Structures are given as structure tokens and as C-alpha cells.
């Protein structure tokens, strides 16, 4: 199972929006509604930001939103804040009850 493809980096100024893509195949993202996004700060465990494509866990700001079209999922962070600077990973359910993570995107707040 190959990793899902994400851009290595993305950036935006405070208050702007940034969108991160996550491209897979019909065996994972394209065939599943179980796509999620994790935020990871240096030295910390990942934190769930979006699950089941669009749902936010309690406590996650509504500035974070998810979507999916075909084999590509996206995470949008609106109204960027300094604390949003982190690594972001997508994840998807895949065939045969497997899971796969994305390659990761480093978001920089300029």
C-alpha cells in the first residue's frame, strides 16, 4: 500500500486560507468515506482534525474543513493563525481493511 500523495509544503499569511490536497486511488480515498486529517506539532503525537471526510471532533475550530472529490481529498484552513503552523497528514481506509497515511504537508504561517 503506497502512501497517499500530499504537497511537501504550503503557506499563507495570518488570516488567509490554505488548502492541502491528498491524492490516492480508487482502492483508498476514491472508494471510502473514511478519510481523515491529523495535525502534528514537533515532538507531539498527531491530533485528529477531520474524520469521515468532513466531520470535526469536538474542540476543533470550524476554520478547519474537509472535502473529497474522486480520488483526492482536501483540507482547508481558513483564517490562518500562528498556532496552525504544523505538519498535516491525511489518512484513509483502504481495501482489505487496511489504513494508509499521506506523505505529510508542512504548513508555514508567514
Partner 1 sequence: QVQFVQSGAEVKKPGDSVKVSCKASGHTFRNEGIHWVRQAPGQKLEWMGWIVPTNGDIQYAQKFQGRVTFTRDKSPAIIAYMEMNNLKSEDTATYYCATSKGITLSAPPGSDHWGQGTLVTVSS
Question: Which residues contact partner 1 by CB under 8 A?
Answer: 1, 3, 34, 36-38, 40, 45-48, 50-52, 55-58, 89, 91, 93, 97-104
Number of DSSP helices (H) and strands (E) in the chain, helices first: 0, 9
DSSP 9-44: EEEE-TT--EEEEEE--TTTGGG-S-EEEEEE-TTS
**Nearest CB to partner 1, comparing residues 16 and 99:** 99
> Could you tell me how far CA 80 lies from the centroid of its own chain?
15
Identify which of residues 36 and 71 has a Cβ nearer to partner 1 in the complex: 36
**Residue 57: other Cβ atoms inside 10 A:** 12
Q: Taking the complex as a whole, how short is the minimal distance between the CB of residue 95 and partner 1, in angstroms?
A: 11
Distance in Å, CB of 98 to partner 1, minimum: 6
Shortest Å, Cβ 29 to partner 1? 13
Residue 24 or 102 having the CB closest to partner 1: 102
- Calculated CA dihedral for residues 82, 76, 59, 41, nearest 10 degrees: -50
Query: Quick one: 15 or 51, whose CB is closer to partner 1?
Result: 51
Amino acid at each position: 500500500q503506497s502512501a497517499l500523495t500530499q504537497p511537501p509544503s504550503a503557506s499563507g499569511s495570518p488570516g488567509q486560507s490554505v488548502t492541502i490536497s491528498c491524492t490516492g486511488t480508487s482502492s483508498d480515498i476514491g472508494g471510502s468515506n473514511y478519510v481523515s486529517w491529523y495535525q502534528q506539532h514537533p515532538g507531539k503525537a498527531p491530533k485528529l482534525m477531520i474524520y469521515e471526510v468532513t466531520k470535526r471532533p469536538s474542540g476543533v475550530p470550524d476554520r478547519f474543513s474537509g472535502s473529497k472529490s474522486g480520488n483526492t481529498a482536501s483540507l482547508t484552513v481558513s483564517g490562518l493563525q500562528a498556532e496552525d503552523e504544523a505538519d498535516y497528514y491525511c489518512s484513509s481506509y483502504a481495501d482489505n481493511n487496511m489504513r494508509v497515511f499521506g506523505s505529510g504537508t508542512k504548513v508555514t504561517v508567514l
